[in-house]
Amino acid sequence: MVATSTLKTKSSECISELVDRRYDQACIEKELDFWDHCLAEPQRTVDVTEDRSCQQLAKMFENCLSRAKKTTLHCSSVLVPEKLTRRIAREVLRLASCEPCGLRGCVLYVDLELDKGCKRLERIVYDATVVPTFELTLVFKQDGTAWPSLRDFLFMGTCFAPTFRHVLKLSPGFRLVKKKLYSSSAGTVVEEC
């Protein structure tokens, strides 16, 4: 059964027409109740879906940082401000919402801003079955107010320079750069958050 804007009430005329087409009346009533509920609260359905996508995306960023701490960042732990990954996920979903394939058409590059430039942490393809329509580059920023650990001070200037940093603290700020792949006239969008 398909819900359309012309089916506004559970009129006996509509139901009898569907019964004539050999639909079960109890099934029809249940279906119409469902669509009445969806039409009454359309935003609630959208919010649940967006919230689930936001949680999955935030978890994806957390997993990326977890993998990168030993392989790319060479530190024992990464301190992430509360709700940072959730804020980033909401921004990514907002930027993806106006794209032809939405988030499924996204290639996401995750970088960390360092003193000497940016370091690539990971490349994430949200859905490998879809041809990418845009790229997002997420740039995490280090917290500049973080003090180096005592261990880092002890090894400074010695021949045993630390190759394994103890703790990396991220700033609550981040940068998202969006580049459309399907339009040569479309520019790059940079958002600082």
The residue that leads in pLDDT, 136 or 32, is: 136
Reference 168, options 139, 147, 137, 154; nearest CA is 147
Q: Tell me what pLDDT residue 45 has.
A: 46
Mean pLDDT within 4-9? 44
| Closest by CA position to 130, among listed 100, 94, 88 | 100
41-45, 93-97, 168-172, range with the lowest pLDDT = 41-45
Span of 30-34, 42-46, 132-136 with lowest mean pLDDT: 42-46
> Each residue of 93-112: pLDDT tens digit?
999 998 888 999 999 999 99
How far apart CA 51 and CA 43 sit, in angstroms, is: 12
The tokens for 17 are 């027409």
pTM, rounded to two decimals: 0.64
Query: In sequence order, what are the beta bridge partners of 136?
Result: 108, 178
* Secondary structure of residue 21 in the 3-state scheme: coil
Per-residue pLDDT tens digits for 11-38: 555 555 555 555 556 655 655 565 555 5
What whole-number distance in Å separates Cα of residue 176 and Cα of residue 137?
6
Tokens of 75: 């530190």
